[in-house]
């Protein structure tokens, strides 16, 4: 059965000559593994390997069967095309940190749409964030992520963390 869902690419591994095995955090199914055939071929196809970079935000049409552990992607396109994350080294490093943190914490394939929307929004905000805000972004993301797993700090003030810290030079 086919389903339309959004996804955040967590990991992409080469398989054979032209295929990829992609781990994606999806809106409808949680963390899932997909086989994508023919994306690394020289022929012109709709699905290209560049779509499956870690931290990519995708709109996907997938074949999903609850009885299987690996599924297939029927069709895929960019959900949000980054302006800065893929070209700015600092923002790209932060995005890779965020994706690796998600990959280590999300182990079960269960739906968690609130967490997905938070991660999607965080990656989009990182793309447009000024350098002073981007400097604090890994800390902000890590602290906010904890509340989706059942614990958080009681005196937490999220907006204050996004403001640039004062730098004192003597």
> What is the pLDDT at residue 150?
82
Is 161 part of any domain? no
For residues 93 and 16, the model is more confident at 93
Q: Which one-letter DSSP state was computed for residue 165? A: P
In a domain, 49, yes or no: yes
Which pLDDT score, from 0 to 100, does residue 96 have? 95
Q: Is the dihedral of CA 150, 151, 154, 160 positive or negative?
A: negative
In angstroms, the CA 58 to CA 80 distance is 7
CB-based contacts of 78, cutoff 8 Å, min separation 6: 51, 56, 57, 58, 59
d(CA 170, CA 151): 39
Residue 90: give the domain boundaries: 2-149
C-alpha–C-alpha distance, residues 21 and 14, integer Å = 6
pLDDT digits (tens, 9 = 90+) for 87-109: 899 999 999 999 999 999 998 88
In the chain, helix, strand, coil percent, each to 5?
35, 30, 35
Beta pairing partners, 170: none
Task: Give me the number of domains the chain comprises.
Answer: 1
CATH for 91: 2.40.50.140
pLDDT per residue over 49-98, tens digit each? 888 999 999 999 999 888 888 999 888 899 999 999 988 999 999 999 99
Assess if residue 22 is contained within a domain. Answer: yes
pLDDT tier, 170 (very low <50, low <70, confident <90, very high otherwise): very low
Predicted local confidence at residue 40, as pLDDT: 79
pLDDT above 70 for 46: no
């Amino acid at each position: 059965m086919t389903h339309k869902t959004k996804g955040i690419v967590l990991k992409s591994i080469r398989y054979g000559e032209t295929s990829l095995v992609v781990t994606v955090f999806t809106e409808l199914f949680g963390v899932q593994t997909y086989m994508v055939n023919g994306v690394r071929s020289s022929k012109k196809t709709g699905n290209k390997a560049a779509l499956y970079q870690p931290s990519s935000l995708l709109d996907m049409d997938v074949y999903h069967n609850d009885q299987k552990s690996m599924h297939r992607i029927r069709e895929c396109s960019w959900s949000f095309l980054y302006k800065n994350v893929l070209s700015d080294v600092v923002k790209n490093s932060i995005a890779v940190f965020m994706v690796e943190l998600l990959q280590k914490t999300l182990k079960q394939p269960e739906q968690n749409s609130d967490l997905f929307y938070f991660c999607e929004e965080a990656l989009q905000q990182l793309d447009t964030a000024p350098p002073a805000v981007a400097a604090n972004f890994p800390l902000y993301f890590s602290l906010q992520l904890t509340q989706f797993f059942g614990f958080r700090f009681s005196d937490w003030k999220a907006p204050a963390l996004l403001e640039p810290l004062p730098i004192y030079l003597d």
